[in-house]
A = this chain, B = another copy of it.
Amino acid sequence: MRYKCIISYDGRNYVGFQSQINGIAIQDVIEAKLAVILQRPLKIVMSSRTDAKVHALGQVFHFDIDRQLDLYRFKGSLNSLLPDDIYLKSIEPVDDDFHARYSVKAKKYRYLINTGEHDVFLSGRVYDCYFKLDMAVFRKTAELFLGYHDFGSFNTSTYDEVKDQHRTIYAVDIKNKGDLIIVDIIGDGFLRHMVRMLVGTMIDTARGQKDIADVKRMLTHPDKRYHVYNISPEGLYLLEVYYSQTYPVWLKPSIVNSREM
């Protein structure tokens, strides 16, 4: 039997989702607790790596086991063993051809920018931005990213790791809520550090460090040597992973200008 799990976590205390040699990963914690409940060592397959300190509201993984689970009890047991900053939101049986990584159709990330005073209750969960931002330029920059592009200028992985750097951004939604800027990005896939570099570039232009022509050139002539502002991981959230075509795709890639949350 294959099971699909959706979890949320506050990434502050972890080196990322995927197991690493340099500290405790969320995967380590989940696999350790699963081993307790299922009475056997077990590997999980995640939908996406998330970096150290990055958060998730809808990270997905799957695992296989040769028996049927009582889902209600399983959820309660696992959550009682998990620390307070990791939570299993749902578990459901899926077909064997479902794969947490290879079946992904799209993903939605959120980035939170605090333009106001430091808020102790948002500490570790937003990027405190002290620059004055021109929001019209911020949005204009986001528009450039829509659609199918070679995002090689916004990628820190090597050629050996990722050969094809083309990705499609379906939508960017930029909202203001008080002093917070909420940037939601939906795409069919993201290169390493890509979301943070896209948002960092929006900030760079909005504060006058780059202009729109620079960004256009970065898209038409992809090159890792562009200096890109790789903004703090603390403002980044993996919101949702889509496995069907039910994710929000506008008729053409579009900027959504939401007025409020």
Once the chains bind, are A120 and B79 in contact (CB under 8 Å)? Answer: no
Question: A120 is contacted by which of B9, B118, B124 (Cβ under 8 Å)?
Answer: B9
Give the distance in Å from the alpha carbon of A124 to the alpha carbon of B13 in the complex: 14
Spot the interface stretch: A41-49, A83-91, A150-158. Answer: A83-91
Number of chain A residues close to chain B: CB under 8 A: 18
Q: From residue 172 to 206 of chain A, which have CB atoms closer than 8 A to chain B?
A: none
Contacting residues, chain B, for A8 (C-beta < 8 A): 119-121
Contacting residues, chain B, for A20 (C-beta < 8 A): none
Question: A121 is contacted by which of B89, B118, B120, B125 (Cβ under 8 Å)?
Answer: B125
In the complex, per-residue mask of A60-92: 1 if CB is within 8 Å of any chain B CB, else 0 = 000000000000000000010000111101000
Q: Identify which of A10, A79, A125 gathers the most chain B CB atoms within 10 Å of its CB.
A: A10
How far apart are A4's CB and chain B's nearest CB, in angstroms?
18
Once the chains bind, are B84 and A123 in contact (CB under 8 Å)? Answer: yes
In the complex, per-residue mask of A105-135: 1 if CB is within 8 Å of any chain B CB, else 0 = 0000000000001111101110000000000
How far apart are A172's CB and chain B's nearest CB, in angstroms?
23
Identical chains bound together, number: 2
How far apart are A27's CB and chain B's nearest CB, in angstroms?
16
Give the distance in Å from the alpha carbon of A117 to the alpha carbon of B6 in the complex: 14
Question: A86 is contacted by which of B79, B117, B120 (Cβ under 8 Å)?
Answer: B120
**Assuming the A-B contacts A87-B117, A89-B117, A118-B87, are A123 and B10 also in contact, with contact meaning beta carbons closer than 8 angstroms in the complex?**
yes
Once the chains bind, are B84 and A10 in contact (CB under 8 Å)? Answer: no
Contacting residues, chain B, for A118 (C-beta < 8 A): 79, 84, 87
Contacting residues, chain B, for A125 (C-beta < 8 A): 121
Contacting residues, chain B, for A117 (C-beta < 8 A): 87, 89
How far apart are A6's CB and chain B's nearest CB, in angstroms?
12
Give the distance in Å from the alpha carbon of A87 to the alpha carbon of B183 in the complex: 26
How far apart are A171's CB and chain B's nearest CB, in angstroms?
24
Contacting residues, chain B, for A9 (C-beta < 8 A): 120
Once the chains bind, are A85 and B123 in contact (CB under 8 Å)? Answer: yes
Interface residue ranges, A against B (CB under 8 Å): 8-10, 55, 79, 84-87, 89, 117-121, 123-125
